[in-house]
Amino acid sequence: MSKQTYETSRFERLSYGGFFLGQNIIYVIQFQFLSYFYTEEVGLSLASTTLMLLIARIWDIINDPIVGAIVDKSHFKSGKYLPWLRFVTYTVPLTMVFVFFNLGASVDGGIKLAFAYITYILWGMLYTCSDSPLFSLGTVMSSKVYERDLLISYGRFAAALAAILSAVFMSLKTQVGWTWTAAIYMIFSFLVMFPLQFTAKERVQYKRSEHIPFSKIFKYLLKNKYLLIYYVGYLAIGMVNTLQPIAPYFCNSNLGNEGMLTIVMGLSVIPVLLAAPLLPMLISRFGKKNLTIYTSLGAIVLSIVQYFMGYGNFVLFLVITAIRVLCMQFPLLIYGMFTADCIEYGAYVTGERTEAIAFSVQTLVTKMGGTICNTICLQLLVFFGYVQQSPTQTPEALGGIWKILTLLPAAGFGVMIIIMLFFYKLSEEDVQKIMRINRGESNEKVNV
């Protein structure tokens, strides 16, 4: 077997993973802690927080595809994607600090709410400008399929590492407060995102039309049926991926100490960090589709098992959580690879490459799933009688938190299994053939 060669340097690949690390730290922190910050620290009501998150996502439905289309049409002298990443390296961490800024108890609640709207929506718009170009960059750094998958696996490893690093957020918060904790994380994020703008090279130049109208870009998107089918399943998982947003409430109310979040999240994510480097080997062995089916089934079974086992035995709780999270995270670790495959399929059926609009769908669905998940969590907390900023909760509220944490995610993974078994027909072999056709190396037909 010949030794694989790379077009990218090791430092270039590490810089790519570093940017993912910083970007994922920023995303994970807002996904996991922002609702808790708004309701328990700022004092916004559960209803106001829910409505704000929904309005922000409604704006994303308009904004994210437009940004993706703009990126697809953009052609800067210094590159197609790197100029966007240079800009967001500075602006995304900075705006996140303001998102976690509390104006204080003396400020009117309406002003606090308006400040939350402005800072959160502004951050969301800037984040969109980072996600689509970052994933698209990986498709032009190398012309080799295995190297492209390796780059994405670097990013997914960084995402797992970001989840572990976020686990100490609450412990640090008790020492220096919310804003300073966010600032510390943002400084670190900036430092690991910074090198990519100097190291990355856009080597692969695909044949593209000089000027594609916006209308055609969106038309091409609608023709990419497998991209849309896959992200129905991915949205289903994201809508009920309750572990991170509900974990602060669980640790504070059920376990009686919000500082336990560091232990719960840290130990549960370590297996994911260890498994992430094995992704290329596992994908080669089982294929992305089968790996998604097997791990989704495992997530369903373990969610049900954990619910009935309870959390009285804390060590057993941690062990089951770690294995369950490992199964839950595998489909989330490889979603970018599915998007890359669907980009090739889209180019095959339309004759045009529109990477950024495809990855903007990925960004939109990720943010929509997170917001719907937070909304469901907050509304179910109300339904079960949770009282915000209260030191004690009723048995009904505690039981409701446990149900949200354990049982709810199983529904989303069930939908993903159905999607993979009956609707998503694009195989690895099909993608390999399509890539050869797209590069002009083959005239064969692919029946997909």
Would you say residue 413 has pLDDT above 70?
yes
Establish how many alpha carbons lie within 13 A of residue 269's alpha carbon, considering only the half-sphere containing its beta carbon: 23
The sign of the torsion formed by the CA atoms of 384, 389, 390, 392 equals positive
In the chain, where are the structural domains located? 11-197+213-438
In the beta sheet, which residues pair with residue 79?
Answer: 76
- Min mean pLDDT across 148-152, 323-327, 336-340, 411-415 is at 148-152
Architecture of domain 11-197+213-438: Up-down Bundle (1.20)
Q: Say if residues 251 and 260 touch (Cβ distance below 8 Å).
A: yes
Q: Say if residues 19 and 192 touch (Cβ distance below 8 Å).
A: yes
- Please state, for a pLDDT cut of 90, what percent of the chain lies above it: 44
Predicted pLDDT of residue 359: 80
Would you say residue 73 has pLDDT above 80?
no
Predicted pLDDT of residue 294: 96
3 state DSSP class of 76: strand
Predicted pLDDT of residue 206: 65
pTM given for the model: 0.76
- Min mean pLDDT across 77-81, 216-220, 380-384 is at 216-220
Mean pLDDT of 52-66: 80
pLDDT in tens, 133-179: 888 888 888 877 678 777 877 777 787 788 778 878 888 998 999 99
Predicted pLDDT of residue 1: 41
Burial track 167-201 (b if 16+ CB lie within 10 A, e otherwise) = bbbbbbbeeeebbebbbebbeebbebbbbbbebbe
Give phi and psi for 17, each to the nearest 5: -65, -35
Query: Which pair of tokens denotes residue 139?
Result: 């498709």
Mean pLDDT of 81-102: 95
What is the separation, in whole angstroms, between the first and last Cα of the chain?
31
